[in-house]
Structure 1
Amino acid sequence: MKKALKIIGITLLIIVALLVAIPFMFKSQIKDMVKQFINENMNAKVEFSDVSLSLISSFPQAHVSVDDLVITNFEPFKDETFATVKAITFDMSVKELFKKASEGPLVINAINVNEALLTLKTNKFGDVNYDIAKKTDADAAPTNTDTNSSFSFDIQDYAINNSAFTYLDEKSNITFYITDLNHSGKGTFSGTVSELDTNTEAKVSLSLDSTQYLNNNTIKLDALIDLDLENSKYTFKENKAIINQLPLTFQGFVQMVDEGQNIDITFENPGSNFKDFLAVVPEAYSKNIEDVTTTGNFKVKGTIKGLSSDTTIPHLDINVTSNNASFKYPDLPKSVENIAINASLKNDDGNVDNTYLNLETLNFKIDQDVFKSSATLKNITQNMLVNANIDGVLNLANITQAYPVTLDKELSGILKGKLHTSFDMNALETNAYQRIKNDGNVSITDFIFSSEDIVNPIQINKADITFNPGTVSLNSFDARTGTSDLNATGNIENLLGFLLSDGNLKGNFNVKSNTFAVDDFMVAETETATNNKTTSAEESLKIPAFLDCTIQADAKTVLYDNLTLKNVKGSLKIKDEQATLQNLSSNLFDGEITVSGLVDTKEKTPLFNMNLGINDFDISESFQDLQLLKSLAPIAKILQGKLNTTINLSGALDQSFSPDLSTVSGDALAELLTTNISSETAPLLSKLDGAFNFIDFDKLDLKDLKTKLDFKDGKVNVKPFDIKYQDINITVDGSHGFDKSMDYNAVLQVPAKYLGSEINQLIGKIDDPDVNNITIPVTATIGGTFTAPTVKTDLTSSVSNLTKQLIEIQKNKLLNQGSQELQNLIGDALGGTKNDSTETQTSNPIKNVLDDITGNNSNNNSDETPTNNTTVEEGVKNILGNFLNNTKNKESAKDSTE
């Protein structure tokens, strides 16, 4: 007995060892078999990381696993991924592993597909990416699959786990998604007629021509299907589906034909409780409906019958009805009553464009508010045609008190309306107003509107709107937002396009306001960046992109940054995230300002381009509070008086919508009408006072001062301008930075009398009134900053040069005085007689001698012998000698007295 047990044990051990070893021995053969199958059957690039074999996990069958399968398309979808599968496993008899092709088909008993992602795509030319099976002779001339097929299934069970499916049809503009797909089935596929028992759970989304019909709706399906493989017909026998929580039973068949699929299916909800209607609504919006109290009925019934092909769809007749229904959520205070629904989705001829939705009745009542509506939607897959009627009253606050909808902001307000509208969606998108027919009126009171495109909620106290064909008249609009109030009238051109198709809000408005704060109408865009686990947020203000309107504004007070503008009037054009100002005028700083230009917020950094006209601004106040003026002329804040200027500037705006001074460029022409200077807080004037003690800079004459300047890259260049202090003219030019750095030159034309006692003594010696008018240029070089200035002058060298100039004048004056005395003496010597025109030169010997000395005796005859020459020369010498001696004596006497 022991020997027998030992033999059995050894035998079992050998069998187990073989079961473990064989997969490794035949691994390469299995890989070759998989590759051979792929190459023989698929026209695509197929890759996988590994193929494994186990004889233990599914003993006595073999278990084959293909891991990380990727299938990539060839042209015309080259390099696009058709499918990825984390793992595909097959269970089959061990002998199937060693079958040759001549021994018959390969039989697989079970398949499991895990985490598959499959994308089926049809491009705009009609090409499909899922036609990847290779064409064979069997495709051209079908024969008995039992004897000629190289591959067949004999499946006991199969499963698709945690997978997703996508269908994209660019030609028909259809998108269909199945996610969280878990599907399993049991049956036999090898026979001609078989039965398949399936269970499916998934979430489904369906969009036709950009219209979302299903959005992540939960689908459950238990189906018992007869498979007639010979005739490609699949009959649904006992089937129950759940859409969200709405149960449906259905029956019928789908048969594959040469043109497409022949479909004949009917369905309905087995009960008629109105709770079934709430079950259609996605659970995220309807919440838990198990405890909801309902009355009335609800019925869904439909037929889908006909050919589904490239050119046709099955006929549709789907109806939803409900009468005298109500519901109440246990945790909410209000109920919805008198609900009546009569809607149908139909297609009578198989042309997809002729599918239409008829909402004949949709009525309900909340408290005492009754709301009635009806609509028809035609051509829903193309350019949808809408014809709708609305008549009723709706308290918006009651919506969240009767239905568990979650809103970002709480709704409030009373909406009253009686409106008929008819349009097509393309008309809304292209602003074809002639195809938009509106008739009726709508009013709203105490409504609060909030959006991502505005900073503060807008509280509409009252608004009355009349709908006319093509336009909407805003009869009244009384609203508040933040600290701002608005009263408006006007015309709106695209209200439905704005509400229904994300179009722009267009119109022309007359707006009045007592207080208008610019920041109340700007949107804050937050951009978050994470770096080293640190998060920082940057905000920039944006003009809403949906606005396309012209506003004639009249505001008593406008608040912008730190400014308060009074009596603001002008035109504002808003479009494409730009605001264009035209002839905007306002009272500011006891004067008036006019503005034209634009602000552009399309880019990440807002830009502006403005022309400013300023009249009679209070200089001190405006240069103290207005950052731009403060940067253009920091020293001006010490002035008392008025300012007139024109400024042209452009640049970028910072996050608070104020000019970024480092980017501002432009030019200005300024005129100062000053009356006084307050220099207590002006370090520059203190420095200048120290450099020029003969000037009181508090008493500079700045009346009618005009200057030009330009600015760019944070630097202001000032053209030369003139100011005056008593009889001193001063010319100033240079530049400074917005960082308050300075580089200026001031040239002072200083009269000599201001330059000290030594200069005044020299002036006194000259004894000439013209000398008192002598001025010298003195240059002051101003650097540093406005808060810590530096002043350098060339006053010392200027005084030295003036001294030399005065000494030279004194010398020339003395020489001139000597020459005059000589002429006087000569005149006396001549007896004071005047020359006679008829007298010849020879009759006046002294004059002849002087002419010889000076070279003026051009008529002197060299051959003529002079008369009395010696006597004349001696006489002249005596006269000159006496003159010179007398002059020296006078100078000596003068020096001695001094």
Structure 2
Amino acid sequence: MKKALKIIGITLLIIVALLVAIPFMFKSQIKDMVKRFINENMNAKVEFSDVNLSFLSSFPQAHVSVDDLVITNFAPFKDETFATAKSITFNMSIKELFKTADEGPIIINAINVNEALLTLKTNKLGDVNYDIVKQKENQNTEASADEKGFTLDIEDYAINNSAFTYLDEKSNVTFYITELNHSGKGTFSGDVSQLDTNTEARVSLKLDSTQYLNNNTIKLDALIGLDLENSKYTFKENKAIINQLPLAFQGYVQMVDEGQDIDISFENTGSDFKDFLAIVPEAYSKNIEDVATTGTFKVKGIIKGLSSDTTIPHLDIKVTSNNASFKYPDLPKSVENIIINASVKNDDGNVDNTYVDIKALNFKIDEDIFKSSATLKNITKNMFVNADIDGVLNLANITKAYPVTLEKELSGILKAKLNTSFDMNAIETNTYQRIKNNGTVGITDFIFSGEDIVNPIHISKADITFHPGTVSLNSFDARTGTSDINATGTINNLLGFLLSDGKLKGNFNVKSNTFAVNDFMVAETETATKNKTTTEEASLKIPAFLDCSIQADAKTVLYDNLTLKNVKGSLKIKNEQANLENLTTNIFDGDLAISGLVDTKNKTPLFNMNLGIANFDISQSFKELELLQSLAPIAKILQGKLNTTINLSGALDEEFSPDLASVSGNAIAELLTTNISSENAPLLSKLNGAFSFIDFDKLDLKDLKTKLDFKDGKVNVKPFDIKYKDINITVDGSHGFDKSMAYNAVLQVPAKYLGSEVNQLIGKINDPAVDKITIPVTATIGGTFTAPTVKTDLTSGVTNLTKQLIEIQKQKLLNQGTQQLQDLIGDALGGTKPKNDSTKTQTNNPIKDVLGGIIGGNSTNTNTADTTNTETAPKKPTVEDGVKDILGGLFGGKKKKETTKDSIK
């Protein structure tokens, strides 16, 4: 006995060892078998990482697994992935592993597919990517099973955690199945058999631009009769659940030469209105188990006819509900008097003639009754919509009656009586003549808020009248923050804006008593982060959807620390740009006119502006406007009026203010009736210290005009003239926006202001013309406006003036000597004895006496009174002495004390 047991044990051990060893021994043969099967049956590139064989896991059958399968298409879908699978396992008889091609088909008993992704695709030309099975030569429909290379005799199969995608570019259909878990038992090899299946998945269906199913949960228990000989599949005992709506269906699908012959009918198994809520995706309807409902709800449909390349089955699907209501237990309001009468139909098999007819969709919340009806035709291509809306809706009751989660709470009363008809292509292409709207819509006490809105917008009243192609905004009264807005106008494509990616086009007249710009711009606070109006990467943007013209009239506009009065002008917004045309306002006791462009298309907003300023209060404007402070910092100490025109361009910062480092342009400024207030003016103190004879507080700046240009943070000032009493001053130079200075002031200083030495010289000269002499004195101004430096050439100027005055004095003496000589010569040539002079006698020959004196001859004195005492009496000057003095001054000669002779050298 022990020996027998030992033999049995050794035998079993050998068998187990063989079961373990044989797969390794025949692994290459198994790979060859798989490759042979693929090459014989597939017209695609197939790759896998490994093939494994086991006899233990499914003994007495063989277990074959293919890992990491990837199937890639050939042309016309070259290199596109058709299918992938993490693993595919097959259970089959061991003998099937060793069949050759001549020994008949391989029979597989069970298949398991894990984590598969399958994509079926039809391109615009009608080519399909799933036609990858090779056709056998001379194969026809009468070929026997033995002539086919593959058959299934399945006891069970499963597809686990997989996904399926169908894309039809020709018909614009997308169909997705995700989270697919499907299992079944049956036999495919018999002529007549049945397949028992169980399926759970999520399904999405989009036809053209309409989403019919959106990640809806599907459950299906189906017993399918298989008539393989006639390719007919009959649904026997079948139950389906779409979201939470139970459906029962029956019928068949049969494969025919033209396509599929379909005859299926279905309906919901109950009639409670709760079944309607079950259609709505659970994410929106929430838990409906405890919802109280009344009334009926019924879904019933028939799909019958040929599905082919040119036709679809006839459709007749109806949804009805009468006198229904529902109330969620945790919500205060109920929805009552619900009437639904809608259907989806196709009467002739032409897919383009499928239509949706909503005869009634009515309900009541509190005392508000809302009625609507619509038809949707040509839904697979350019869908046509014709809808009627008539009713009142309190928007605040939406969340009180239905568990919908809104980002922002709604409030307000909506009243509408409207008919609209349009096709989707007309909306997308803004073909207004095909958009027909007639009726009115009104809203009161509506509060709107969103990510891009700083303060909630409270619309107290808005009345809109719809006409074909246009919408008239009859009234619009709103408040946000401290701002009030009153608007009227027209909108050209409201439906295009609401239903597609169209722009909001229109013309508006906007009035406001107070318009605070900060009410529409986010500050650097927690609100900014919360509302996400701006990001670190991008500043405030002009909305891309706006394409409109605005005529503005605001009594007060508040911007930053500025208060603008009587703002009027035009604003055109398009392509993220705002064009300002003839915008005028009163500010700083003067007038401001603005024209230009603001462009926010790029990451950094840009602007290009022309400013016309008239009668600005200089002190106030230069204190409060950073731009003016940078252009002329010294002007803040002025008091008076300013006229200027400024052309400038540059970038805007995150607060929509000019980035001074980027600003460039030019300006022409004129000062009117200007006085100087030098308090806290270091530059004037420095200038007063450098020129004691000028009080710079009393400069005459009236009617001063100057030109300047600016770029790269630097302002260049063209030469301009100012005056202090009788001193003319010419100034030019430049300064930076950083307050640095590089200026020259050239003063034409009269000589009388230059000290006592100069004034003494002027007194000696005693000539009125000397008082008009001026010298240029240059003051070089550097440093900054808060710490200025002043250098002058006043000392050298005084020295030069002194030399000039000495030369003038010499010239004056020369002129006087010349005149005296001319007088003496005139007297000598034509002189006579003075009349009535009895004491003196004239020489008989005056010329001889003068010339004798010049050449050193003796003079003859006939005065008898002097002859008696020539030694002691003083000698009186003679003509000769005067001439000598003059000539000595002219030629630099020395005057001799002797009176007898002079020698000429």
TM-score for the superposition, normalised by structure 2: 0.89
CA contact (8 A) 2:884 2:895 kept: no
Q: Letter of the aligned partner of 2:33 in structure 1? A: M
Aligned to 1:327: 326
* Native 8 Å contact 1:164 1:181 kept in 2: yes
What is the root-mean-square deviation in Å for CA atoms of aligned residues? Answer: 3.0
How big is each residue's C-alpha offset from its partner over 1:544-598, in whole Å with a ceiling of 9 and x where there is no partner?
2222222222111112232211111122222222222221111111111111122
Instruction: Quote the Cα distance in structure 1 between the aligned partners of 2:356 and 2:164.
Output: 28
Does the C-alpha gap of structure 1 residues 776 and 45 become closer, same or farther in structure 2, counting only changes over 3 Å?
farther
Residue 782 of structure 1 corresponds to: 781
AA matched with 1:429? E
Q: What residue is the counterpart of 2:266 in the other structure? A: 267
Q: Secondary structure at the match of 2:333?
A: coil
Between the aligned partners of 1:47 and 1:637, the Cα distance in structure 2 is: 81
User: Which residue of structure 1 lines up, in the alignment, with residue 755 of structure 2?
Assistant: 756
Mapped to 2, the partners of 1:210 and 1:752 lie a distance apart of 92
Per-residue CA deviation, residues 452-485 of structure 1 (Å, 9 max, x unaligned), is 4544332111112222333222222111122211
Contact conserved, 2:720 with 2:730, CA < 8 A, in 1? yes
Question: Within 1, Cα distance between the matches of 2:407 and 2:882?
Answer: 119
1:20 pairs with 2:24: no
Aligned to 2:604: 605
Larger mean Cα displacement after TM superposition, 313-322 or 745-754: 745-754
Q: State the Cα distance separating 1:340 from its structure 2 match.
A: 0.9
Q: Are 1:50 and 2:50 counterparts?
A: yes
Alignment of 1:675-824 (within 5 A): 675-824=674-823
Deviations 1:353-395 (A, max 9, x none): 1111111111111111111111111111222222222221111
The CA deviation at 1:890 is 12
Contact 2:885 2:895 in 1 (8 A): no
2:104 maps to: 104
Q: Is the 8 A contact 1:525 1:542 kept in 2?
A: no
Counterpart residue type for residue 29 of structure 1: Q
Q: How many aligned positions are there?
A: 855
Q: Does residue 648 of structure 2 align to residue 649 of structure 1? A: yes
Do the aligned partners of residues 541 and 705 (structure 1) sit closer, same or farther apart at CA in structure 2, a change above 3 Å counting? same
Report the secondary structure of 2:439's partner residue. strand
Given the alignment of the two structures, is residue 228 of structure 1 paired with residue 227 of structure 2, yes or no?
A: yes
In the alignment, structure 1 residue 36 sits paired with structure 2 residue 36: yes
Distance 1:751 1:398 in 2: 88
Between the aligned partners of 1:497 and 1:523, the Cα distance in structure 2 is 29
Give the structure 2 partner of residue 863 of structure 1: none
Contact kept, 8 Å, 1:452 with 1:523, in 2: the verdict is no
2:254 maps to: 255
Give the letter for the 1:883 counterpart.
I
Alpha-carbon offset, residue 127 of structure 1 = 2.1
Partner SS for 1:234: strand
- After TM superposition, the structure 1 stretch with the greater mean CA deviation from structure 2, 54-63 or 103-112, is 54-63
Of 649-658 and 675-684, deviating more is 675-684
Aligned to 1:414: 413
Residue equivalent to 2:632:
633
Matches within 5 A, 1:467-616: 467-521=466-520, 537-538=536-537, 540-616=539-615
Which of 767-776 and 5-14 deviates more? 5-14
Query: 1:716-766: per-residue Cα shift (whole Å, max 9, x none)?
Result: 222111112222222222222222222222222222333333333343444
- Unpaired segments ≥5 residues, structure 1: 527-534, 834-844, 851-868, 893-898
Is residue 2:86 matched to residue 1:86? yes
Instruction: Give per-residue Cα distances to partners, 1:131-160, cap 9 Å, x unaligned.
Output: 22334315x434535212222222222222
Tell whether 2:75 aligns with 1:72.
no
Equivalent residue number for residue 371 of structure 2:
372
SS in 2 for 1:298: strand
Secondary structure, aligned partner of 1:416: strand
In the TM superposition, what is the alpha-carbon distance from 1:94 to its structure 2 partner? Answer: 3.1
Corresponding residue number in structure 1 for 2:861: none
Offset of residue 538 of structure 1: 4.9
CA distance in structure 2 between the partners assigned to 1:36 and 1:804 by the alignment = 120
Report the secondary structure of 1:144's partner residue.
coil
- The Cα shift of 1:425 comes to 2.2
Q: Is contact 2:321-2:340 (8 Å) kept?
A: yes
CA separation of 1:734 and 1:756: change in aligned 2, threshold 3 A: same
Aligned equivalent of 1:177: 176
Query: How far is the alpha carbon of 1:125 from its aligned partner?
Result: 1.9
- What letter corresponds to residue 89 of structure 1 in structure 2? T
Change (3 A) 1:618 1:882: closer
1:23 & 1:765 partners in 2: Cα distance? 135
Tell me which amino acid in the other structure corresponds to 1:93.
S
Which stretches in structure 2 are left out of the alignment for 5+ residues? 526-533, 833-844, 858-878, 897-905
Q: 2:886 aligns with which of 847, 871, 883?
A: 883
| SS, match of residue 539 in structure 2 | strand
- d(CA) in 1 for partners of 2:462, 2:318: 38
- CA drift at 1:523: 8.0
Residue 179 of structure 1 deviates from its aligned partner by: 1.5
Percent of aligned pairs sharing the same letter: 83
Superposition pairs of residues 240-251 of structure 1, within 5 angstroms:
240-251=239-250
Q: 1:524 to 1:390 in 2, by over 3 A?
A: farther
TM-aligned CA deviation for residue 252 of structure 1: 1.1
Distance 1:39 1:809, change over 3 A: farther
Which residue of 2 is the match for residue 529 of structure 1?
none
How many angstroms apart in 2 are the aligned matches of 1:786 and 1:127? 79
| Paired residue secondary structure (1:147) | helix
Secondary structure in structure 1 of the residue aligned to 2:132: coil
Asked if structure 2 preserves the Cα contact closer than 8 Å seen for 1:639 and 1:674, the reply is no
Aligned to 2:128: 128
Within 1, Cα distance between the matches of 2:458 and 2:183?
55
Aligned-pair CA distance for 1:628: 1.5
Q: Deviations over 1:176-210 (max 9, x none)?
A: 11111121222222223332111111111111111
Query: 1:42–1:462: structure 2 CA closer, same or farther, 3 Å change rule?
Result: same
Shift of 1:85: 2.0
Measured against aligned partners, the alpha-carbon deviations of 1:374-422 in whole angstroms (never above 9, x if no partner) come to 1111111222222222221111111111111111111111112222222
Residue aligned with 1:701, SS: coil
1:731–1:746 Cα contact (<8 Å) kept: yes
More deviation in 284-293 or 791-800? 791-800
Instruction: Give deviations 1:842-889, integer Å, cap 9, x for gaps.
Output: xxx999xx9xxxxxxxxxxxxxxxxxx999966799986443457889
Q: Distance in 1 between matches of 2:480 and 2:595?
A: 26
Helix, strand or coil: the match of 1:297?
Answer: strand
**Matched residues in 1 for 2:258 and 2:451: separation?**
50
Equivalent residues in 2 for 1:122-521, closer than 5 Å: 122-137=122-137, 140-142=139-141, 144-521=143-520
* Per-residue CA distance 1:50-107 (angstroms, 9 max, x = gap): 3333333333333332222222223222332222222222223333332222222222
Distance change >3 Å, CA 347–CA 820, structure 1 → 2: same
Change (3 A) 1:768 1:523: same
| Distance in 2 separating the partners of 1:846 and 1:375 | 139
- 1:683-740 deviation line (CA, Å, top 9, x unaligned): 2222323333332221111111111112222222221111122222222222222222
TM-score, scaled relative to structure 1: 0.89
